[in-house]
Structure 1
Amino acid sequence: MISIEGLSKIFTSNKTDTTAVDNLTLSIDQGDIFGVIGYSGAGKSTFVRLLNRLEEPTNGRVVINDQVVTALNKKDLRIARQDIGMIFQHFNLLWSRTVEENIAFPLEIAGVSKEERLERVHSLIDLVGLSGKEQSYPSQLSGGQKQRVGIARALANKPSVLLCDEATSALDPETTNAILDLLVDINRQLGLTIILITHEMHVIRKICNQVAVMENGKVVEQGNVLDVFLHPQQSVTKKFVKQVMGSDEEDNDINQLIKNNEQGKIIRLHFVGETTNDALISQIIKTYQVDVSILQGKITQTQAGAYGTLFIQMGGNQDDVTQAITFIREQTSVELEVVRDAD
């Protein structure tokens, strides 16, 4: 369990105070993949650096595994940091060291014997998929391979918490997906808690269970990823959801659907979880005397489950159509909106 209480960070420059993190309070469950999203300047990178005191907080406290990190002296903090791995956007590798030597570096600092270091390094190289690259230098690696080295190095001391500060922002989409898949695999195999900082909502969608949205140093919205995607409350959250939902494009599609389909009702259905796989449309046609045409649809996966959007055109006797709509509205985890109510 990670407990963050009233955490603040104020930077002072030229006698001017700037609040980067403002009285932030969060709880993160052990073994969770927790996302923190915000635009540039929201305070998210400062926040994650406060967790291991790479930045010293102005106020508040951080408790990780029953240890008050913000109260530790320098000696105890160095020891505590061995339990908190961290990976960065720009890798921060030692360019004069090989892959093997980069991963071994934190073990050297911790005083681990050479034999134990080699055994640990080789197991980590296998874990992150870098077998055969042990003697390569960073300049000989792709961006994704460099980040895999960074991940392996962060795991060297067997931490219980992994902090990821924009870990995929410098990577292309295909490599990003591969790194995110690796993080999910590590989370499942090792059971460690991952806190992932990003400005990209598709990263949150792909691997996070919980998400906190930051703006102006504050958490303005948080919750289960699926809930936040389906029912964003704050304007900044709605902007992020549009990144992966294509809401603007969907609005244009609705207008085009209405223009191209003059008869019957046009209905938008939101399916959540297992209902995305149910044969709802077939059931409606068999039960009610209505005509149903599927106009457009898509399904998106999150760690918390699937959700889908389906546009249908429904026509027929008005009473039958009303009964069919009532039936749909009674279904668990299906939301219905009549987009165009023409007869």
Structure 2
Amino acid sequence: MISIEGLKKIFTTTNNRITAVDDLTLDIAEGEIFGVIGYSGAGKSTFVRLLNRLEEPSAGKIVIDDQELTALSTNQLRVTRQEIGMIFQHFNLLWSRTVKDNIAFPLEIAGMPKRAREDRVQELIELVGLAGREDAYPSQLSGGQKQRVGIARALANRPKVLLCDEATSALDPETTNAILDLLVDINAKLGLTIILITHEMHVIRKICNQVAVMDEGKIVEQGDVLDVFLRPEQHVTKKFVEQVMGTDDDHDGVEKLINTYDSGKIIRLHFVGDTANQALITQIARSFRIDINILQGKITQMQQGAYGTLFVQMDGETDEIARAINYITDETSVEVEVVQDVE
């Protein structure tokens, strides 16, 4: 669907040259929700603006749906941009226009007849959950409602690709989750390819299938979101994963808890993937003659399933504890590590 090869953007000032995007090569599949994450200055916002040529690349090639954007004339690009929607961090709404007039604006530019335009606007209002707010002005809307207008406007010309540049950064956590749920719904209903630019790993965790990590203008790591969480290779990636899962220092409290037990085993359970059994503790307690105490842990849900770690203490007869551990190892996808034998 999207193929990017050797993409580069150099900004030249009086005193120096700044390479914002540096020889970036990437493939994004059709219908995917693809996340690009990086800290401020990593080049991610410049990258997304290159995708629709709001910024002109210094070098490289961008192909979307078999059409090379970097080879298009100005007039050809104007038409092609209708197939690439974009939403922004600060909404970029027209403050003198109502909700319905903001959504209709790109349709007016495209020359759609009034009746067809009105029908399309109403369809989009229903899609993004703004029924009843058609005649409101942006100043009368909450942040989440403004972003819903931005999403509807970006979808007006039925694009094949939706670019989201820090689309939730100005929103509170509850509203962020609502907007992310909306993007997932739109992706499922329309089969739209979504490229989501962010500096927040929990956004990637919640809705993305694939993620690319940017640093100093380059892609330094890429893969399935679950794989990147499981095996982050670069230092910058590890820092992002810590945003969601915490650091090794967070496990220090477990060592103190271990010292309060004088029998049994301390077990670390590592949950991975869509077959991770969330009811495992209950099953173990019911099936085996052992006491099981949860000490500490965190499990988070991603698009591809659960990921996280749980520390537990198992107490009882040695053979029965061994049977419980064998059951977890053999019958579930949960990985087991005996951290300490307290006996």
- TM class by shorter chain equals over 0.9
Which residue in 1 is equivalent to 2:175?
A: 175
Which residue in 2 is equivalent to 1:269?
A: 269
Which residue in 2 is equivalent to 1:9?
A: 9
1:91 aligned to 2:91?
yes
Which residue in 2 is equivalent to 1:156?
A: 156
SS in 1 for 2:259: helix
Counterpart AA for 1:194: I
Which residue in 2 is equivalent to 1:110?
A: 110
Counterpart AA for 2:73: N
Counterpart-to-counterpart distance in 2, 1:340 and 1:118: 67
Counterpart-to-counterpart distance in 1, 2:253 and 2:229: 20
**8 Å contact kept, 1:7–1:21:** yes
Counterpart-to-counterpart distance in 1, 2:277 and 2:320: 24
Counterpart AA for 1:260: T
Instruction: State the Cα distance separating 1:226 from its structure 2 match.
Output: 1.4
Instruction: State the Cα distance separating 1:175 from its structure 2 match.
Output: 0.7
Counterpart-to-counterpart distance in 2, 1:243 and 1:308: 13
Instruction: State the Cα distance separating 1:264 from its structure 2 match.
Output: 3.0
Counterpart AA for 1:312: V
SS in 2 for 1:277: coil
Instruction: State the Cα distance separating 1:244 from its structure 2 match.
Output: 1.3
**8 Å contact kept, 1:285–1:292:** no
How has the CA–CA distance of structure 1 residues 231 and 13 changed in structure 2, closer, same or farther, with 3 Å as cutoff? same
- Consecutive unaligned residues of structure 2, counting only runs of 5 or more, are none
SS in 2 for 1:240: helix
Q: What is the total number of aligned residue pairs between the two structures?
A: 342
1:198 aligned to 2:198?
yes
Counterpart AA for 2:62: V
**8 Å contact kept, 1:276–1:307:** no
**8 Å contact kept, 1:284–1:324:** no
Which residue in 2 is equivalent to 1:34?
A: 34
1:235 aligned to 2:200?
no
Which residue in 1 is equivalent to 2:283?
A: 282
Counterpart-to-counterpart distance in 1, 2:174 and 2:285: 40
**What pairs with 1:1-343 in structure 2 (closer than 5 Å)?**
1-248=1-248, 250-272=250-272, 273-277=274-278, 279=280, 282-283=283-284, 286=287, 291-316=291-316, 321=321, 324-325=324-325, 328-331=328-331, 333-343=333-343
Residues 105-114 or 322-331, more deviating: 322-331
Residues 263-272 or 126-135, more deviating: 263-272
How has the CA–CA distance of structure 1 residues 227 and 281 changed in structure 2, closer, same or farther, with 3 Å as cutoff? farther
TM-score by length of 1: 0.93
SS in 2 for 1:94: coil
Instruction: State the Cα distance separating 1:270 from its structure 2 match.
Output: 1.0
Instruction: State the Cα distance separating 1:317 from its structure 2 match.
Output: 5.5
- Consecutive unaligned residues of structure 1, counting only runs of 5 or more, are none
Residues 26-35 or 305-314, more deviating: 305-314
Counterpart AA for 1:274: T
How has the CA–CA distance of structure 1 residues 220 and 330 changed in structure 2, closer, same or farther, with 3 Å as cutoff? farther
C-alpha RMSD of matched pairs (Å): 2.1
Counterpart-to-counterpart distance in 1, 2:333 and 2:185: 29
**8 Å contact kept, 2:284–2:324:** no
Q: Percent identity?
A: 69
Instruction: State the Cα distance separating 1:315 from its structure 2 match.
Output: 4.0
TM-score by length of 2: 0.93
**8 Å contact kept, 1:120–1:156:** yes
Counterpart-to-counterpart distance in 1, 2:121 and 2:233: 45
**8 Å contact kept, 2:212–2:219:** yes
1:205-235 C-alpha deviation (Å, 9 max, x unpaired) = 1111111111111111111111211222221
Instruction: State the Cα distance separating 1:322 from its structure 2 match.
Output: 5.3
Counterpart-to-counterpart distance in 1, 2:154 and 2:242: 33
Counterpart AA for 1:251: H
Counterpart AA for 1:82: Q
Counterpart-to-counterpart distance in 2, 1:282 and 1:254: 23
Residues 175-184 or 304-313, more deviating: 304-313
Counterpart AA for 1:155: L
Counterpart AA for 2:200: E
Residues 271-280 or 121-130, more deviating: 271-280
The runs of at least 4 consecutive aligned structure 1 residues that moved more than 6 Å come to none
Instruction: State the Cα distance separating 1:278 from its structure 2 match.
Output: 5.3
Residues 176-185 or 225-234, more deviating: 225-234
Instruction: State the Cα distance separating 1:251 from its structure 2 match.
Output: 1.6
Counterpart AA for 2:169: S
Instruction: State the Cα distance separating 1:340 from its structure 2 match.
Output: 2.7
